Structure 1
Amino acid sequence: MPDLGKYADAVLSSYAVSLVLLMVLVWLSVRRSKRIKAQLQDIEMKVKRNG
């Protein structure tokens, strides 16, 4: 790891915040994907029953 000197705290905290934000975005995307998939399956079942 390079010597960051007096900026070490700022740089490392920026990395930490960025990683947390990326994890939150991935989690939200996966959660939304599961919800949309369930909705699409419900719609397909309704179409098959009424079709």
Structure 2
Amino acid sequence: MDLGPYTSFIATSYLAAALVVVLLIAWIAIDYRTQKARLRALEESGIVRRSGRAATDIQ
């Protein structure tokens, strides 16, 4: 496949786009772990989520 004189530009663009996607996936995964740890710490300290209670428990 011959892309002509723009081969390096096209390849660099695809590489940059792939790098951005990989970085976004990594950022989301790290943030997910951080949020789970924060929720776990809050629940261990006695704070519970309202969604975790039954409707009869809410006053």
Q: TM-score range by the shorter chain?
A: 0.7 to 0.9
Give the aligned partner of residue 26 of structure 2: 27
In structure 1, what residue type is equivalent to 2:22?
A: M
Structure 1 moving runs of 4+ over 3 Å: none
CA distance in 2, matches of 1:6, 1:22: 26
Aligned residues between the structures:
47
Does 2:54 align with 1:47?
no
> Which structure: greater helix fraction?
1
Pairwise CA distance, 1:3: 1.7
Across the aligned residues of Structure 1 and Structure 2, the Cα RMSD in angstroms comes to: 1.2
Pairwise CA distance, 1:26: 0.6
Give the aligned partner of residue 11 of structure 2: 12
Pairwise CA distance, 1:15: 0.4
Q: Which has the larger radius of gyration?
A: 2
Q: TM-score, normalized by length of structure 2?
A: 0.73
Where do 5+ consecutive residues of structure 1 fail to align? none
Q: Indicate the structure whose relative CO is greater, using CA pairs within 8 Å and at least 6 residues apart.
A: 1
